[in-house]
Amino acid sequence: MTRPVKSPFRAVFIMRSRYTEDCLAEALIRGVRQYVILGAGLDTFAYRQPSWASSLRIYEIDHPASQEWKRERLEVAEVKIPENLTFAPIDFEITSLREGLATAGFDFRTPSFFSLLGVTQYLTIEATESIFELVQSLPQGTEIVFEFIVPEDLIPADEASVFATLASFSAERGEPWLTRFRPAELETKLTGLGFSQVTHLSPSAANERYFRGRHDELAAWSGAQMMRAVV
Ligand SMILES: C[S@@+](CC[C@H](N)C(=O)[O-])C[C@H]1O[C@@H](n2cnc3c(N)ncnc32)[C@H](O)[C@@H]1O
C-alpha cells in the first residue's frame, strides 16, 4: 500500500514547525534570546509571532537566491517586516555560519535557539556538521531542532514511493538530496560533539504527542524525523 502524497503529507510540515516552536517556547524560559531560522524558506514564524516571542531577536538565514525571492514575495503581499527580524543571506556550502552570523550582528555570548527544517537533505554532510559544531560552541542552553531524512532501508513500504518521488522531483529541479541520517548514529555524533542533551522525536513519539486520537489521515511520517540537541 502507498500513502497518497498530498494532503496527509502536510502533517510533516505542520508537525515540524509545531515541535520546533514548542521547544523554542521552553528555551525562552531558560533564557534564550535569539532565534536563528536556518534555511528559512517560507517559514512564517516571524510574521505571526506570538506575544511571548517579542523578547527574541529573530534571524532568517537562507540561500541568497531563496531569501531574495521571499523578500520580493513579502513586499508584493505587503507583509510588514517585524522590528525584531534580521535577514542574513548565506550559502552554507560557501560561507561558514559563524561568519554569516557575525556579519548579521548575532551575539555569540547569548544562549540561542536554531531551527533547521527541511534543509539537511540538500546539504553536504560537511556543511551540516559544521552547523552542528558552531551551535555546540555557543553558550550553555543553546539548542538546535532539526529535521532529517532517513536512509531508504529505514523508510517503511507504505511511504517508500512518496519519498522516492520527492527525492527524484528535487533532483530534477537541480536540488538533489545529498544527505540522510540514521537516528542512532546521529545521536551518537551529536553526543560526541559535546551536546549535553540529545532527543530523538521518533515517529511513534510524534504520533503520541501531536496526532493521538485523530480520526483523519494526519500522522507522523517515518521518512522525515526530528531531533533536538541542547548545549
Ligand atoms: C524545503 S525548503 C525548507 C524551508 C523551511 N525551512 C520550511 O520548514 O519549510 C529548503 C530550504 O533550504 C535552503 N537551502 C538549501 N541549500 C542551502 C544552502 N546551501 N545554503 C543555504 N540554504 C540552503 C533553501 O534555500 C530553502 O529555503
* Closest residue by CA, ligand 1 atom 20: 91
> Is 171 contained in some domain?
yes
88: domain range?
A: 7-230
Pocket test for ligand 1, best of 63, 117, 163 (most atoms within 8 A of CB): 63
Q: Which three cell numbers stand for residue 220?
A: 507522523
Burial category of 100 from C-beta neighbours within 10 Å (exposed 0-12, middle 13-18, buried 19 and up): buried
- How far, in Å, are 88, 116, 195 from residue 183 at the CA level? 30, 16, 15
Distance of CA 188 from the midpoint of ligand 1 (Å):
25
Pocket test for ligand 1, best of 17, 38, 66, 146 (most atoms within 8 A of CB): 66
pLDDT band at 1 (very low <50, low <70, confident <90, very high): very low
Atom of ligand 1 minimally distant from the CA of 91: 20
Tens digits of residue pLDDT in 175-211: 999 999 999 999 999 999 999 999 999 999 999 999 9
Tally of domains in the chain: 1
pTM, 2 dp: 0.95
> Is 27 contained in some domain?
yes
Q: What are phi and psi of 206, to 5 degrees?
A: -65, -40
> Is 1 contained in some domain?
no
> Is 2 contained in some domain?
no
H-type alpha helices, 44-96: 64-76
Tens digits of residue pLDDT in 137-180: 999 999 999 999 999 999 999 899 999 999 999 999 999 999 99
Long-range contacts of 155-158 (CB under 8 A, 24+ apart): 155/222, 155/223, 156/222, 157/1, 158/1, 158/2, 158/3
CATH assignment at residue 130: 3.40.50.150
> Is 96 contained in some domain?
yes
Residues 62, 92 contacting (CB under 8 angstroms): no
- Residue 123 C-alpha from the chain's centroid: 12
> Is 132 contained in some domain?
yes
* Closest residue by CA, ligand 1 atom 8: 117
